[in-house]
């Protein structure tokens, strides 16, 4: 899944990492936006082996977007703002 930036796409840049790989994002991005606009493709693997997942509701209800942030633990990527230097692991 690749989010496409359509509007207000020239905000100050921030960088974070996903499983060690650098991701370029923008200030005001949620983690979900930062990762999926930054080319991550997906956020986690289904624990039932049915493939990758990348969130569904974007409103904090479905819990399909869990990732792990160093120092914060498990968070919903859609309900957490991306921050400079965040170290993220797939959930």
Partner 1 sequence: MKVAVVGAGPAGVRAVERLVAAGLSPVWIDEAPDGGGRIYQRPPPGVNRDARTLYGFEARRATALHTALDALKPRSDWRPETLVWHIRPEARQLHTLHRGRQAGVDYDAAILCTGAMDRVIPVPGWTRPGVTTLGAAQIALKTQGCGIGGRVVFLGTGPLLWLVAYQYAKAGAEVAAVLDTTPFATKARATPGLLRGGATFVKGLYYIAWLRRRGIRIAEGIAPLAIEGDAGGVTGVAWRDASGREHRVACDAAGMGWGLKPEAQLADLARVPFRHDPLQANWVPERDAAGRTPVRGIYLAGDGAGIGGAEVAEIAGARAALALLEDAGHRVDPIETVPLDRKLAAQARFRAALERAFPFPSHLARGIADDTILCRCEGLRTGELRAAARAEAATGPAPEMNRAKAFTRVGMGRCQGRVCGVAAAEVLAAELGCDVTAIGRLRGQPPVKPIPIPAAGDAP
Binding partner of 80, given ligand FES, partner 1, none, CB within 5-8 angstroms per partner class? none
Distance of CA 45 to the CA centre of its chain: 14
Q: Specify the DSSP element, H or E, that contains 1.
A: none
- What is the spatial distance between Cα 13 and Cα 1, in angstroms, rounded to a whole number? 21
Of 13 and 52, nearer to ligand FES (C-beta) is: 52
**Which of 22, 50, 71, 85: binder of partner 1 (CB under 8 A)?**
50
Binding partner of 35, given ligand FES, partner 1, none, CB within 5-8 angstroms per partner class? none
CB 23 within 8 A of CB 37: no
**Which of 12, 20, 71, 85: binder of partner 1 (CB under 8 A)?**
12
């Amino acid at each position: 899944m690749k989010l496409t930036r359509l509007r207000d796409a020239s905000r100050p840049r921030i960088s974070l990492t996903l499983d060690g790989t650098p991701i370029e994002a923008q200030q005001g991005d949620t983690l979900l936006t930062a990762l999926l606009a930054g080319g991550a493709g997906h956020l986690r693997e289904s624990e039932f082996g049915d493939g990758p997942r990348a969130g569904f509701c974007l409103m904090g209800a479905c819990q399909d977007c869990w990732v792990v942030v160093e120092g914060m633990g498990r968070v919903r990527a859609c309900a957490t703002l991306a921050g400079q230097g965040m170290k993220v692991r797939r959930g």
